[in-house]
Amino acid sequence: MTGNAASEIAAGYATEGAALELGAVVVDDAADASARVRIPFATLNRHGLVAGATGTGKTKTLQNLAEQCSAAGVPVLLADVKGDLSGLARAGETSDRTTKRAQETGDDWAPTAFPVRFLSLGASGIGVPVRATITAFGPILLSKVLGLNATQESTLGLIFHWADQQGLALLDTKDLRAVIQHLLSDEGKAELKGIGGVSAATAGVILRALVNLEARGGDEFFGEPEFDPSDLLTVEDGKGVVTLLELADQQADPTLFSTFLMWLLAELFEDLPEAGDIEKPKLVFFFDEAHLLFADASKAFLDRIEQTVKLIRSKGVGVFFCTQLPTDIPNDVLSQLGARVQHALRAFTPDDQKALTRTARTYPKSAVYDIETALTSLGIGEAIVTVLSERGAPTPVAWTRLRAPRSLMAAIGEPAVTESAKASPIWGKYGETIDRESAYERLSARTGATSAPAEAQAPAPQAPAPQAPPPEAPRQEEHEGPGIFEQAMSNPMVKSFLRSAASAAGREISRGLFGTARRR
């Protein structure tokens, strides 16, 4: 009876093309090694969800998925929130537990290492530093990082619009502060007549939010060289490179890293060509701690997430959200996730019970399992699974004992990560911060002004106009020669943003679906 039920469930997971192996069907607490549960590679770009309570095995599931994608030549991006996915770079260790799990799941387990690149936000992390300019990040994503409300987000969008029209690249937070201050000055007010107005109170809120972001290390992230998302699409010796975004230094500001992941996804959406139906995705993108992306998000932000997730599958990118509860994901996004890997849930409180009931109702009916009971009975490394078959139909619900990862199920340590990062082929591209000399800094040097700490207080909301930030000490000049904007505009606050005539003059900045900068 048990064998028949397991075989009937497994029949729904049979594939003709290549598939990612999840594990074996469990019925009545017994795993049938011959009843395989798998996800067709051809449906990975229909996205997925990995959910479950803390300690139920979500991280190992992500590790397992990343390994098999890499082995199939599919690059992967993972946010290493806890720092324990670095073991992907080393072969695993044989133990009684891995041997037993291999027997239960019918897996020909063998210790295997995978190509890994380690990234960190800004220059203070242990991986290759990655950055984005304020201009490229755009007003919608930056508003999420700054915690702005709808009115403040609209005001920030107006400020970006004006800067875009002038061809002014905002490279860092200091640039954005000075643009706001210019537009509120007597010289800049006339330039706002055609596009609306910015109140001093709202500008003050935005400025204080910028100062707070700098205090949390955001000033290290915004700048140059800007990360090129195409560097995620790398294959080495037939294996897809696993890019790990190390987050140890950013745990105090989780919104920044989750929004940075959304920026990467938005950039990929804008840059990649249409792919149509393909045998395997070009990239699989894992959003760990996904609830951080959606918490307190504006309607504009949520709408664009929904659009991006819906449309990016045609570009050959699969997106998996990882969180504790499926209810952390908005319904409009959740409905687009074809694969569901649900680890155990807890029902200790009335709210937990409501979430459990809602989760159970999102699964297809099962003649074998009581879904609600099963969700609270799963062991570590087990999950309730349903995916899309090759023909696009939901598979039967399968209580699944998941395969053990083949790489090291532990962290390799910060020294090893740093050594690997510095040996990476992209270290030379991103390892050193570029801080191009600006007209504003040159003017400050001539006036003999001195620097002030970045934590200086922003003006109060009721102030009639925020004061200009203290200038910084001059750095070694890398480039001279005014561009056409410097010749045309005499205001020194505006001149500070004309970074390079060769790259900025005459270019119009347009923006994509998520408000990120597109240049033409």
What confidence tens digit (pLDDT) does each residue in 198-248 have? 777 888 899 889 888 888 777 888 988 999 999 999 999 999 999 999 875
Name the residue among 268, 266, 246 with its Cα closest to residue 257.
Answer: 246
Euclidean distance between CA atoms 11 and 453, whole angstroms: 65
> Using an 8 Å Cβ cutoff, are 256 and 292 in contact?
no
Three-state helix/strand/coil letters over 304-346: HHHHHHHHHHHHCEEEEEEECCHHHCCHHHHCCCCEEEECCCC
Q: Give the global pTM.
A: 0.82
Euclidean distance between CA atoms 161 and 50, whole angstroms: 38
Return the amino acid letter for 462: Q
> Using an 8 Å Cβ cutoff, are 216 and 250 in contact?
no
At residue 235, the 3 state secondary structure works out as: strand
Which phi-psi region, left, alpha or beta, contains residue 122 (left: φ > 0; alpha: ψ -120 to 50)? left
- Measured CA distances, 429 to 128, 225, 387, 422, 433 (Å): 9, 8, 39, 11, 10
Average pLDDT, the chain: 82
| CATH annotation of 2-130+227-428 | 3.40.50.300
8-state DSSP, 25: E
User: 512: buried, middle or exposed (CB in 10 Å: 19+, 13-18, 0-12)?
Assistant: middle
CA 397 to chain centre: 29
Euclidean distance between CA atoms 124 and 390, whole angstroms: 44
Query: What strands lie across the sheet with 128-130, from one edge to the other?
Result: 30-40, 19-27, 398-402, 382-386, 339-342, 48-51, 317-323, 283-287, 76-80, 242-246, 116-121, 128-130
Instruction: Say whether pLDDT at 448 is over 70.
Output: no
Q: Looking at residues 384-410, what average pLDDT do you find?
A: 95
> Using an 8 Å Cβ cutoff, are 117 and 417 in contact?
no
Name the residue among 305, 361, 312 with its Cα closest to residue 333.
Answer: 305
Higher pLDDT, 443 or 61: 61
How many CB atoms sit inside 10 A of residue 463's CB?
15
Domain spans of the chain, in order of start: 2-130+227-428, 134-223+436-519
What confidence tens digit (pLDDT) does each residue in 312-340 have? 999 999 999 999 888 889 989 999 999 99
Higher pLDDT, 37 or 270: 37
For residue 346, what pLDDT is reported?
87
DSSP string, 239-275: EE-EEEEE-GGGTT-HHHHHHHHHHHHHHHHHHSPP-
Alpha helices per DSSP H over 338-399: 350-361, 371-375
How many CB atoms sit inside 10 A of residue 43's CB?
25
Q: Looking at residues 466-480, what average pLDDT do you find?
A: 39
